[in-house]
Structure 1
């Protein structure tokens, strides 16, 4: 961009304050849409003053769609949102949408992890199947004939370890061993995790709808 040129206006909002998620989406969209400057035009919620949205749905898809719709309506821009968590087979899919507050306090990763391990302490290894699940949603502003939205799901199946392993990641990453691997999610590099993650799979499945929404 030449000196003094105006910064392109945003064209897509990711309803998050998580810079890792934003970087992942930008990487997916890079070179996908002619004329789209992903670093300037694909932005997070803070960049456009998008509102925080209460996640009170009963499924990941409901929460993701609610956030995407609210941000699209508030900003007048196409919006993407996601909701994700851990689903444990012997707990009937719990913690699920309550993953971030399983121990009571929102976002207390250590307490959530320790409570879950305690609850599963007597569960034999062959019954410790679990999966990270993500719903990614796209909503466009307005309504009527031109209004479109889409939701895609992604999963990363695996087995729950009996104690945390690894220093990377966050949340339940240290205790989920992805299917086919001998390491926990917290022992993977960022690139390795993104290649197989539930969020990466959901975003990649949503990519055709995103590209269509941004097509000149």
Structure 2
């Protein structure tokens, strides 16, 4: 049994969500996810520049780099907010929309300022996520790569609501919901989120990698 996988992130929110997503599945038995699923910092991996021009390119380059450095299966995702009236921006630049060292609050505030005059009916947006799994080659077994995509449609609120989640969660109200993503429990969010959808599609390959 391999029972070890690296999530190519330094974002504790993403690590918590990923462990929670896997934790509800009995295929893993008594596996301790705190030990089995680690982040890039714990694995001692260097920072990986996101030099791709799409979510898919960025997720694959991160997973490939971590798998090569650790020799372990690596999962990465690249995700962001695509705003309709901004032609899909911030997109791959979501985490640094207000600058390379910007905080979530800085990014969120700038986006709200840019959309201040946009009417509610034109504030459509979606969270988009591409998840990638790279399993390094082993004797007699070639390397494997898988990618999946998830989206969460909704509309942008005029002001933040809720304290859960991270990133732009406080300002996206998912379609059919009366609450922002930041007001949902982790279980509710994982059930409908872009990341939950992408990782759910990737889950069979992740479980196979963990139980080999």
Calculate the TM-score normalised by the size of structure 1. Answer: 0.87
Q: Secondary structure at the match of 2:42?
A: helix
Distance 2:96 2:54 in 1: 15
Kindly provide the CA deviation profile for residues 77-118 of structure 1, in whole angstroms up to 9, marking residues without a partner as x. Answer: 110011111000111100001111112243322222222122
In the TM superposition, residue 10 of structure 1 has moved relative to its aligned partner by 5.7
Aligned equivalent of 2:104, options 100, 109, 127: 109
Kindly provide the CA deviation profile for residues 157-195 of structure 1, in whole angstroms up to 9, marking residues without a partner as x. Answer: 100111222222222112111110111112222332222
Residue 129 of structure 1 pairs with residue 112 of structure 2: no
Distance 1:136 1:156 in 2: 14
Residue 156 of structure 1 pairs with residue 149 of structure 2: no
Distance 1:200 1:180, change over 3 A: same
User: Pairwise mapping of residues 1-216 of structure 1 onto structure 2 (< 5 A)?
Assistant: 11-30=4-23, 31-33=26-28, 36-142=31-137, 146-216=142-212
Instruction: Work out the number of aligned pairs and report it.
Output: 209
In the alignment, structure 2 segments of 5+ residues that lack a partner are none
Please say which of residues 92-101 and 115-124 is displaced more in the overlay.
115-124
In the alignment, structure 1 segments of 5+ residues that lack a partner are 1-7
In the TM superposition, residue 36 of structure 1 has moved relative to its aligned partner by 4.5
Larger radius of gyration: 1
Is contact 2:13–2:165 with CA below 8 Å preserved after alignment? no
Calculate the TM-score normalised by the size of structure 2. Answer: 0.88
